[in-house]
Amino acid sequence: MLIQLHKKLGTVNADIEGWEDHVREHIESGTNFILILSRDPDAVTNFCRLFGLPDDCTPRTLTQADFFLLSQFIEPEAFDAVLHHWDDRHQMVFVEQIDFEINRPPKLKHFLVYSPVLGILAQHELLSGAKELLAEYQDSGGPGVSLPEAGVYCWERKQWCLFEGR
């Protein structure tokens, strides 16, 4: 798989009809995103089911401080949408692809180039290939361009682990 150079986080608004299709697109592409989710218990249950989680799961909500720390990596339209919906009726959920059972081998290869901000950037069967793809990602920013941190993750003991060797 070639490296995906998506550079910014987007949003999905669960108040809009067809939002589940947008979530599936993000899952298919491996991109992390911010979900604008109603605080309604039924909406949370739908979220949990969509991601194959127990019905009583607790979405990872963003605080305003977390949101502003991520702001340099968020699409301008997404940034505006989050601010517009930041109220007592909504919660902002940071959806991280590496957390979901669907994003595990055999669907994915055993080595990922993964950014905790952007999501799955690339995957490879071999560690050496994943390291090359990580280097390509790190070189893609160019002068003055800040890229979110990324690393090589390997599938070990039924979980994704950051590879910290040479």
For 67-123, the three-class secondary structure string (H helix, E strand, C coil) is HHHHHHHECHHHHHHHHHHCCCCEEEEEECHHHCCCCCCCCCCCEEEEECCCEEEEE
| Chain segment 60-110, per-residue pLDDT in tens | 899 999 999 999 999 999 999 999 999 999 999 999 999 888 889 999 999
Q: What local confidence, expressed as pLDDT, does residue 3 receive?
A: 52
Cα dist from 71 to 7, 10, 67, 99, 148, whole Å: 12, 11, 6, 22, 11
pLDDT tens digits along 9-37: 999 999 999 999 999 899 888 999 999 99
Q: Give how far Cα 131 sits from Cα of 67, 86, 123, 134, 135, Å.
A: 30, 39, 10, 5, 6
Nearest to 147 by CA among 73, 81, 75, 82: 73
Give the position of tokens 């989710």.
37
Cα separation, 92 vs 86, in Å, equals 8
The count of residues in the chain is 166
pTM more than 0.85: yes
Diameter of the chain measured on Cα atoms: 48
